Amino acid sequence: MRPVNPGSPARWVVVMAAAGMTLGRPAPASSARRTPIVEAVQRALPTVVNIGTEQLVRVMPTDPIQQFRYEIFDRMFRDLLGQPPAPGYQVRHSLGSGVIIDPLGFILTNFHVIERATAIRVTLVDGRPFTAQLIAGDELSDLALIRIDPDGPLADIAFGRDDDLMLGEPVIALGNPYGLAHTVTAGVLSAKNREARHGDRVLFRDILQTDAAVNPGSSGGPLINADGELIGINVAILPEGQNIGFAVPVGRVRALLTEWLSPRNLKHIRLGMDLTERDGRIAIAAVESGGPAAQAGLRVGDRLTALEGRAPGTLLDVHRRFLRVRPGDRLSCTVDRGGRPVVAEMIVAAVRPPDGRALAAARLGVELAEPPAGDPFRGGLVITGVRAGGPAARAGLREGLRLLRIAGRAVRTIEDVGTILDAATPGTTVWLSVASFDLGDGFLLARTQSVPVSLE
C-alpha cells in the first residue's frame, strides 16, 4: 500500500473517516472488545486537541543547546509538513497536539510546537476552532502552556502519579500524527529515567521511553496509562530506530504547571501569601504584610488542611482551584497551627497593575511598544529603545528585536512586562527570549536567542 501524501485529497478522506468513527454506536459494556485500553482512550481522547497555524515560523536559535534541540524537531517537521508553501501563500498547517489540563481552557503542549506559529490555532475533538494565547513556556523542558476561551467547561485530563510507573505496563499515545486527527497508538512503558544529553552535559535524567508509535504531529499529545491518566507528554522520536518514542514525565509537567498556574504568576487575584509543598503537605511560605492572608490572621508555617471545606490535594490542585476565585470573593481556609486547627476567612483582593513601561525602563533599560498593525508575527513587544550602559545594552540587545518571554513567561502586552518585573528582585538575573524576523520562502524566519540580564 503506497503512503498517503499529507497534502493529497486521499488524506482528507482518511481524516474524515477517522472522525466519523468516533460518532458510531459504542460496543455494549459487556463486550469483550471493551478492553481497559478502549475505556482509557474513551476517557482521555476528548481532552486531546490539534494545534496549527496559518503561517509557519522557521526558528534559528543562537544558543548551542537550543540549536541541538531545534535540529531534532526540525527533522520531525520536515516529515510532517513536506515542502514549504510558495512565498506569500497563506495555508493552515497542523503543527502538533496538545492536551486540556483544566476545564477553563488551559492546554499543555510542546514548546517546539507553538514556537513555529505566528498565531496559535486550536481545534477541539468536536471540531470547534479557537485562537490560543501563550501563557508560559520552558524551552529546555520543551513544554508550553496555552489558553483558549471556550463558551463552557471542557473535558480535562486526569493526572497520574509519578512514583508508581511500572516498566512493561500498557501505555497509550494520543495525538495528531501527520495531521491525522485523534490517532491512538498503544504499547508499553519501555524505560524510565532516560538521560537527555547535549555533548557531555546531562540536561535531564527523567525521560520516559515507549514503543507506542509517536510520529511527527503527535508531539504535545498525552501519554496515558491504562486508567486514562496522564503520565507524560509526547515529545520526540528516535529517527534512527523504530517504535522508540520519548515523553516528558508527569512529575516535571506537574512541577511546571504548579508554578505557571500560581496566582503570583497569573496575577488574576491577590492573596498576599505564597504556598509551598513538601512531603505531600502544603504550608504557607510567606505572608505579605497588610495583605488578605495577613488580615485573615494566617501565618508563615501554617499547614493548609482544607480549602472551602475540602481537602487541598496537591499544590497544583490548589492553584487550579484558585483559577475560579475572583477579587471580592471570600475564601475559607483551615490550617494546622502547632497541632490545633485554625479557621480563617480572607477577602480576595484585586491585583494592582504595575507600570510596565516604567519598570522596563528602570530594570531592563529598554523602551517597548506593541507590534504595528498587520504584523505577521502576532506576539511579543518591539524593543524601540535601549539605554546606553543599561542591563539590556550590556547583554547585547538592540532596537528592533522582539521581546518574547521574560523568565520563561510570555510577553504579550506592556502589562505582562510590569507583572513579571514587579515580582522580580532587583539584582537578580533573568533570561530574556528575543527574536528578529524576516520573511522568505513562504516561512517567517525567526532568529532567536536567550540572554541573561541582571535587573537594576
Q: What does residue 120 show for φ and ψ, rounded to 5 degrees?
A: -85, 120
Q: How many C-beta atoms lie closer than 10 Å to residue 9's C-beta?
A: 8
Q: How far apart are CA 14 and CA 9, in angstroms?
A: 9
- Find out whether 109 and 146 touch, Cβ atoms under 8 Å: yes
Strand, coil or helix: 325: coil
Spatial CB neighbours of 150, under 8 Å, sequence gap ≥ 6: 104, 105, 128, 130
Which residues are marked as active site? 112, 142, 219
- Find out whether 421 and 428 touch, Cβ atoms under 8 Å: no
Place of cell 508550553: 144
Bridge partners, 108 (sequence order)? 99, 145
Q: How far apart are CA 160 and CA 46, in angstroms?
A: 17
Strand stretches in 15-128, DSSP E: 48-53, 57-61, 93-102, 106-109, 120-123
Number of H helices, E strands in the chain: 11, 25
Q: How far apart are CA 338 and CA 345, in angstroms?
A: 19
Spatial CB neighbours of 369, under 8 Å, sequence gap ≥ 6: 381, 382, 384
Q: How far apart are CA 288 and CA 277, in angstroms?
A: 18
